[in-house]
A and B are shown apart, each in its own frame.
Chain A
């Protein structure tokens, strides 16, 4: 069983919609990463959180340490946001465990 669970696996939205991707992890972590993988395969690190909330442009990431849960939100979604979004949990031994990813398609 994967230690990091993401939902949904696939998400289709219309341009302008508010999007939420969820991530749950099973044990205590030192940090939670959100990554974006483009159709060509390149990966960009979006956020790294250990508590609270971070915002960058239309992207917002939150984490609840007690509930072992993080969310990635995209406001006013755009077709260029179409990508696979990956949640990764980093543990104190620098080991990382990755979720299976959420494939987001935003239609114009």
Chain B
């Protein structure tokens, strides 16, 4: 069956450019999460969407990072004026409902490399 789909799978760009990462959650999943995993480090929570509620942006590392989600469908994570420290794998996950320990289904990630 269709899982969480992320695109692109790989992205290489120059420092200072803006990038946009896309996540298609599992159909019917109301909750969507973005995470980041830098090389050799653990997962970091970035942002959480639940239905039409205001997103929890508490994990975004700087104001260069923003994310949007239209209803309960696609989400985009945008990084403006990229820096080398933004190089990481960006993972998206969705769950049927948010919170209270619902199982999360992860995409394969977007590997972002900033030159």
B101 with A101: CB separation less than 8 A: no
A residues in contact with B98, CB < 8 Å: 94
| Interface presence of B1 (CB below 8 A) | no
Q: How large is the interface on A (under 10, 10 to 19, 20 to 34, 35 or more residues)?
A: 20 to 34
| Interface presence of B26 (CB below 8 A) | no
A residues in contact with B58, CB < 8 Å: 93, 95
The secondary-structure label for the interface of chain A is strand
| Interface presence of A98 (CB below 8 A) | yes
The A-contacting residues of B in range 63-115, CB under 8 angstroms, are 89, 91, 93, 98-106, 108-109, 111
Residue among B50, B89, B101, B103 with the highest chain A CB neighbour number at 10 A: B101
B106 with A44: CB separation less than 8 A: yes
| Bound: A93/B58 CA distance, A | 10
| Given A45-B103, A48-B101, A48-B103, A95:B45 Cβ within 8 A | yes
| Bound: A33/B50 CA distance, A | 19
Chain A's nearest CB lies how many Å from the CB of B91? 6
B interface size (C-beta, 8 A)? 26
| Bound: A44/B108 CA distance, A | 10
| Interface presence of A41 (CB below 8 A) | yes
Chain B's nearest CB lies how many Å from the CB of A44? 7
The B-contacting residues of A in range 57-108, CB under 8 angstroms, are 86, 88, 90, 92-101
Chain A's nearest CB lies how many Å from the CB of B9? 10
| Given A31-B101, A93-B56, A95-B59, A43:B106 Cβ within 8 A | yes
A contacts, CB < 8 Å to B = 2, 30-33, 35, 41-45, 48-50, 86, 88, 90, 92-101
B contacts, CB < 8 Å to A = 33, 41-45, 48, 50, 56, 58-59, 89, 91, 93, 98-106, 108-109, 111
10 A-B pairs (CB sep. < 8 Å): A31-B100, A33-B103, A43-B106, A49-B101, A90-B99, A92-B99, A94-B99, A99-B42, A100-B41, A101-B42
The 8 closest A-B pairs by CB, nearest first: A31-B101, A43-B106, A98-B43, A98-B42, A100-B42, A96-B45, A48-B103, A48-B101
